[in-house]
Structure 1
Amino acid sequence: MIEFLAPHFVWLSDPTAWVALITLVVLEVVLGIDNLIFISILTNKLPPEQQVPARRLGIGAALIMRLVLLATISFIVQLTTPVFTLFDHGFSWRDLILIAGGLFLVWKATTEIHHTVDPADHAAAVSSTLKLTLGGAIFQILLLDLVFSIDSIITAVGMTNEIAIMYIAVIVAVSVMMLAATPLANFIGKNPTIVMLALGFLLMIGMTLIADGMGYHVPKGYIYAAMGFSALVEGLNMLARRNRAKRGKVGH
């Protein structure tokens, strides 16, 4: 039995494999930020008693889906093969999935921004909240996670040939998402201005997915740098508002 399992764990003694594992875990966690923001905004629209179960069920189901996709990795890799050409660009199934996911994110973010900005549309926003069910939220979480999963698995294949490393990276990344989901959702819920910032992030991510599907790759570093800078500015604004509120109370 030990002799049978030994070849599957040879990578444990390979330093380059450990570097690939750490790099892939970090990459999966960073890529999961996009999904986590969407999950936080979506589940905050549910009744309070359903929010935590929705996050746990959605992320748990997403983990199972990612592990199943890894089991069919040979099929996933073939999704990069062009199936037709349009405007001198060969579109693969991966491209079409990215474009569909990007369009969904753009539509979702634009709709939520409209509900937030237009006070006259408040009734429509309430109606939308009432229509969202626990099952509907989980379905949308899985739908978007499918897009990010396929892209991250294809990225993982380019970094390592060890399927065990991919499984470990996915499990660790999803576990981090599970732990961070509720604190992030609570933070977004308590700070209304953060909601608009997060929706802006989703809009940018959606457009990036569409561009990537069209053959225009935008380096992830630029995207996360922009998100980090925007979050820093918003953090300074929140600090400034808190200090003004404290001075106002002292003045009275």
Structure 2
Amino acid sequence: MTSTKEALAMDWIIPLLTLTAMEIVLGIDNIVFISILCGRLPESQRPRARTIGLALAMISRVLLLLSISWVLSLTNPLFLLTDLGVPESWLESESWQTATYESLHQESELQEAEREYRELRTEHTLEEINQVSVRDLILLIGGLFLIGKSVLEIHHKIEGQQETHVVKEHPSFGHVILQITLLDVIFSLDSVITAVGMAKQIWVMVLAVILAILVMMAFAGAVSDFVEKHPTVKMLALSFLILIGVLLVAEGAGTHFNKGYVYFAMAFSLIVEMLNMKLRPPLEPFVASDD
């Protein structure tokens, strides 16, 4: 009896902890984006905007989980690129590699197995690129929006440093919340699809999302303050948001990348930047001349 209870407990405890950790990792880019957007608001409005933004992220994730059958239907093909007149030869990015491989090597059993694997992978890749689903369109639009928004933020920061005499205008609170809501839906869609593959029970997924958002709420203020106090870190964060946008566009186009490499690059770059901050001499305070 005890072993049965332990087995049942492990059946949901391990997925819950794993999924919570995964949701936190997947939410890092969401926190960075919210922090940068909230940095454009007056300081008194930033905590409320961060809380509302993360609350909207939690609500969107929970609603998507509760309508999981509809979410999974978003991955069904909506149309084919070849039906729109795109030549199939344009999609055959790997077929020439297989042909070259065959012509240059004598096939042993191992090489033959590898050739068959390459052919299957090529067929799967071509089929995935050719099929366009609602999820693909959402990721494409969201990725382009994230790239454009990040580039505009970089431009605003550079121009803002060059034109310090211009009175700084703050965007409206509602406009910032609207942008946060749009990106919350994009990030939530990918997060929910990941959750479905890691847990079986809906309540485990919902609980993991709630726990992850609560953890992010606890640290969002510290992350936001750190980003705002260090301009080089903010520029680094914006650069990685552009990279995340490119990954979203690639995912929408049917090309998959291991996001672990991206998160590793983010962590490594942040560590290097923190070392630079330690070595960089502090700026002396500016003293106005009496002349």
TM-score > 0.5 by shorter chain: yes
Cα 1:11–1:105 shift into 2, 3 Å: farther
Could you give the per-residue CA deviations for residues 111-163 of structure 1, whole angstroms, max 9, x where no partner exists?
1111223468748x966x43x11111111111101011111111111122210
The answer to whether residue 229 in structure 2 is matched with residue 162 in structure 1 is: no
Matched, 1:100 2:141: yes
2:245 maps to 1:209: no
Q: Which runs of 4+ in 1 moved over 6 A?
A: none
Q: Secondary structure at the match of 1:83?
A: strand
The equivalent position to 2:153 in structure 1, one of 84, 93, 112, is 112
Alpha-carbon distance, 1:59 to partner: 1.3
Q: Alignment length, in residue pairs?
A: 234
Instruction: Give a deviation string over 1:16-51, Cα, whole Å, max 9, x none.
Output: 432211111111000000100000000010011111
Identify the residue that residue 76 of structure 1 maps to in structure 2.
71
2:14 is the counterpart of 1:22? no
Which one has a larger percent helix, Structure 1 or Structure 2?
A: 1
CA shift for structure 1 position 184: 0.7
Is the Cα–Cα contact under 8 Å of residues 56 and 184 in structure 2 kept in the other structure?
Answer: no
Q: Over aligned residue pairs, what C-alpha RMSD do you find?
A: 2.3
Match of 2:233 among 194, 206, 222: 194
1:38-77 pair list within 5 angstroms: 38-77=33-72
Aligned residues with identical type, % of pairs: 46
Instruction: For 2:152, give the aligned amino acid.
Output: T
SS at match of 1:91: strand
**Alignment pair present for 1:221 and 2:260:** yes
1:11 to partner: Cα distance: 9.8
Q: Unaligned regions of 5+ residues in structure 1, if any?
A: 1-9
| CA shift for structure 1 position 245 | 3.5
For normalisation by structure 2, the TM-score amounts to 0.75
- Which residue matches 2:96? none
